[in-house]
Amino acid sequence: MTKKIVLVSAVALIDPDGRVLLAQRPEGKSQAGLWEFPGGKVEPGESPEDALVRELHEELGIQTWNSCLAPLTFASHAYEDFHLLMPLFACRKWEGIPSPREGQTLAWALAKDLRDYPMPPADIPLIPILRDWL
């Protein structure tokens, strides 16, 4: 049986203190309560970078640009109903202050503390790569 591939773009927003922004999935969504890197589904005809620029504006009220998104790594994870392919970008430059616009909780975490936040299975392998990079 072939599973549908879902392309989701995610970002590690890194502040001047080297902390990474995490968003907690709100009640009513799948995997509610788990922490993740901000981002979202890539729409048809959209690049992963364009999807992040759009999602960050919609979800967090901030503005960034494709040129500020550096490809870092990716996740490839088989869930029961689909296969997730998720590029992770790093971003250190944006305008505005991230604020939750879709019921999520936000937290700034040091790279060494990322494992303290329960995450979806696809996000967990990204932690050591991000930690080593920072």
What Å distances lie between residue 115 and 1, 99, 105, CA to CA? 33, 23, 17
Element (H, E) at 10: strand 4-13
Which of 26, 13, 1, 9 shows the shortest CA–CA distance to 84?
9
Domain span at residue 122 reads: 4-133
pLDDT tens per residue across span 64-102: 999 999 999 999 999 999 999 999 999 999 999 999 998
Residue 15 contacts by C-beta under 8 Å, 6 or more apart in sequence?
A: 21, 108
The confidence score (pLDDT) of residue 59 equals 95
Length of the chain counted residue by residue: 134
Average pLDDT rounded to a whole number, residues 11-30: 92
- Count of domains for the chain: 1
For the chain, the average pLDDT equals: 94
CATH number at 102 reads 3.90.79.10
